[in-house]
Structure 1
Amino acid sequence: MSPTTRRVLQAVLYEAIAIAVVGPGLSLAFDEPPTSTFGLAVVLSTIALTWNYVFNWLFEKWEARQAVRGRSFARRLAHGAGFEGGLAVILVPVMSLWLGITPAAAFAANLVLLAFFFVYAIVFTWAFDRVFGLPASAAVREPTR
């Protein structure tokens, strides 16, 4: 499988499963109709995918101007915090308006989603790699003689 095909397949499966889990979860948590929370899950997923693209583009533009190259732990931590913080700034008002809840309740729900996605991303990536194999960048190479 080509790297591009693999990335697209991984993103589509990741988001489809996330929507299938988050939609009903929000329905139960906020006593909202599943059709409404499924729609919200699709909107949240679309926002997250778009923000991922925009944030990484901006981060890489910033990163290219830095004197120190590479991705240290501090830089990775800044990347993760920037991505998740920016996403929360976008998602909290959307969730608050859609669900008719306070921004504080939407922020709390966003924290729960953050914890869920932390675990889900690890489990999903492991399962995806088990089913489809490792990408070329991570495959074990045979020693050369």
Structure 2
Amino acid sequence: MQADKSLRERIFQALGFEILAIVLSTPLLAWAMATEWHAMGVVTVATCLFALIWNVLFNRAFDQLRRRWGIGLSVPVRLTHAMLFEGGLIVICVPFAAWWLDIGLLAALLMDIGLLLFFLPYTYLYNWAYDTLREPVQRWYHRRLARRGLTRHTC
């Protein structure tokens, strides 16, 4: 969650987040709801598409506010980030899940709460891992380009 991430990098980060989320959550959700994989797969993919857009927009705004207010990346800030992100996603996704699965809003909300119990730590851990690995991976990548006589601007 460093403030110097470009929109392009935010999109890359969000895509990684959502692809891993689909792989982990589709079978878990289908099993928990006793629903066929393909029906739950539609909900999962749609939710991830909603989340992808929300992820890019929310993280960009969160970075800007953090920079403006001079706030670091402490554990409480990361927890606040994860809770606000997931709260916004509930507002977006519950009505869609209720409509697609032909269930009530309460049932969709309960399903989403179950997902939240999974995704809250997932969001925290994914973003922590991304931030932890970001600089070493960038250094490795730039050394590799330099050995080939390239710069990141020529790629």
User: TM class by shorter-chain length?
Assistant: 0.5 to 0.7
1:24: how far off? 2.6
Asked if 1:21 is matched to 2:24, the reply is yes
Query: Residue 113 of structure 2 aligns with which residue?
Result: 111
Question: d(CA) in 2 for partners of 1:62 and 1:120?
Answer: 23
Once the two structures are superposed, residues 83-106 of structure 1 have per-residue CA deviations (whole angstroms, 9 ceiling, x without a partner) of 221110001101111111111111
Corresponding residue SS for 1:25: helix
Q: Counterparts of 1:70-85 in structure 2 under 5 Å?
A: 70-71=71-72, 76-85=78-87
TM-score, normalised to structure 2's length? 0.62
Question: d(CA) in 1 for partners of 2:75 and 2:16?
Answer: 29
Query: Residue 46 of structure 2 aligns with which residue?
Result: 43
The change in CA–CA distance for 1:137 and 1:50 in structure 2 (over 3 A counts) is: same
Of 89-98 and 51-60, deviating more is 51-60
Aligned length: 129
Corresponding residue SS for 2:47: helix
Question: d(CA) in 1 for partners of 2:84 and 2:43?
Answer: 23
Question: Which amino acid is 1:70 matched to?
Answer: I
Asked if 1:87 is matched to 2:89, the reply is yes
Query: Residue 141 of structure 1 aligns with which residue?
Result: none
Corresponding residue SS for 1:101: coil
Corresponding residue SS for 1:115: helix
RMSD between aligned residues: 3.6
Question: Which amino acid is 2:108 matched to?
Answer: A
Which contiguous aligned blocks of 4+ residues in structure 1 show a shift greater than 6 angstroms? none
Structure scoring higher RCO (CA < 8 A, sep ≥ 6) equals 2
Question: Which amino acid is 2:71 matched to?
Answer: G
Of 31-40 and 71-80, deviating more is 71-80
Corresponding residue SS for 1:135: helix
Taking only the aligned residue pairs, the percentage that are identical comes to: 33
